[in-house]
Amino acid sequence: MRAMLCKAFGPPESLVLEELPRPALGPGQVRLAVQAAGVNFPDVLMIQGKYQWKPPFPFAPGAEVAGEVIEIAPDVTSVKRGDRVMAMVGANGFADEAVAAAVSCMILPESMDYVVGAGFSMTYGTSYYALVQRAQLKAGEVLLVHGAAGGVGTAAVDIGKHLGAKIIATGGSDEKLARVATHYGIEHVLNYQSNPKWRERVKEITAGQGADVVYEAVGGEVLEQSLRCLNWNGRILIIGFAGGEIPKVPANLILLKSASLVGVFWGAWLGREPEVNRANFQTMFDWHKAGKLKPMVSHTFPLERAADALYAVINREVVGKCVITMGRS
């Protein structure tokens, strides 16, 4: 098998493509012929030794993959050889074969190709859980999505729209926001970098009421400004801090709006409630089969160009997902 290996911590160009022997399967594991692997910012941190989990050298980055099951451990019954699946693997996804826990494999709907499947798990899994289980978003509510051109952001827009919310999407690039607006048919997009008064626009758009639910994956100043344009009984979903700054919140604003700050940690929750997570994916797969979800993948790169894929993420060029393909026919 071929893998894009990290043999010592360093920048993306220090990764090396090498042949290596197949690892043996353990109990409950399956081997996948990887067709595509999703690229995420933690991949960048992992190869630099800045991620909380440090796999032993050599390892390949790549936490999520899609591919075909080619071998199963004797005790595995949930998937079989030939199944098309997506799987969370933690690391070692930038490779043409990967070992996955059978429990983490989801069988792809026929409507979904491997490229979309490779970038679907983390983004759509997180955003569905956030909007449905955590925020209990209702049709007709206003959903303000920050970082709406990113992976989890585009998924939140897509799912929120399908749930009947009125979407206001923010981001730092007019060009990326225009692509999101066109793809999802969104009327209101706001640039939080070039327009420091974006929260006033939220109030105007909502006739003074403010947003009911805020999907907050950016952090910093964006969170406090969101509290100031939140409706009564509003919920702010704390998803992440892509901007790098973990904000502090004036608690009086939460009191004044009868607001809720709602934490979201999909990766930990799915281990606690795996059956609910599976049901979430089944619902989304049904929507996808019916043509109701439109995941965005702006960049694909062959495995040889994994460093370019990582730089596309680092340089904020991506709209939706960046995916590495293994070049199989």
Radius of gyration of the chain (CA): 20
Considering the complex, state which of residue 161 and residue 176 has its C-beta at the smaller distance from ligand NAP: 176
Count the residues in the chain.
Answer: 329
Q: How many helices (H) and strands (E) does the chain have?
A: 11, 15
Does residue 11 have a cis peptide bond before it, meaning omega lies within 30 degrees of 0? no
C-alpha to C-alpha distance for 48 and 54, rounded to whole angstroms: 10
Q: How far is the CB of 266 from ligand NAP (least distance, A)?
A: 4
- Least distance in Å: CB of 39 to ligand NAP? 9
Contacting ligand NAP within 249-278 (CB under 6 A): 264-267
Answer yes or no whether residue 62 interacts with ligand NAP by CB under 6 A. no
Nearest to 277 by CA among 160, 162, 105, 138: 105
Collapsed DSSP state (helix, strand, coil) of residue 297 = strand
Q: Tell whether residue 223 is a contact of ligand NAP (CB under 6 A).
A: no
Smallest gap, in angstroms, from Cβ of residue 313 to ligand NAP?
6
Q: Considering the rule CB under 6 A, would residue 208 count as an interface residue with ligand NAP?
A: no
Angle between helices 151-162 and 174-184 (to 10 degrees): 30
Per-residue interface string for the shown chain with ligand NAP, residues 111-130, x marking contact by CB under 6 A: -----------x---x----
Among 98, 181, 217, 229, binds ligand NAP (CB under 6 A): 217
Q: With binding defined as CB under 6 A, does residue 89 bind ligand NAP?
A: no
Regarding 203 and contact with ligand NAP (CB under 6 A), the answer is no
Binding mask 169-198 for ligand NAP (x = CB under 6 A): --xxx--x----------------------
CA dist 179 and 153 (Å) reads 13
C-alpha dist (Å) from residue 289 to 155, 252, 292: 16, 45, 8
Contact 90, 116 (CB under 8 A): no
Among 38, 240, 247, 295, contact with ligand NAP (rule: CB under 6 A): 240
CB-CB contact of 274 with 297 (8 Å)? no
Q: Contact between 244 and ligand NAP (CB under 6 A)? A: yes
∠ CA 124-183-202, nearest 5°, is 80
> Shortest distance, CB of residue 179 to ligand NAP, whole angstroms?
11
Phi, psi of 309 (to 5 degrees): -65, -45
Q: How far is the CB of 108 from ligand NAP (least distance, A)?
A: 20
Instruction: Return the amino acid letter for 329.
Output: S
User: What three-state secondary structure class fits 30?
Assistant: strand
Q: Is 41 in the site for ligand NAP (CB under 6 A)?
A: yes
**Closer by beta carbon to ligand NAP, 82 or else 272:** 272
Which among 4-12, 59-67, 96-104, 142-150 is the span making contact with ligand NAP, rule CB under 6 A?
Answer: 142-150
Instruction: Identify residues 11-40 at the interface with ligand NAP (CB under 6 A).
Output: 40
> Least distance from C-beta 329 to ligand NAP, angstroms?
29
Q: Which residues bind ligand NAP (CB under 6 A)?
A: 40-41, 122, 126, 147, 149-153, 171-173, 176, 217-218, 239-244, 264-267, 313, 316, 318
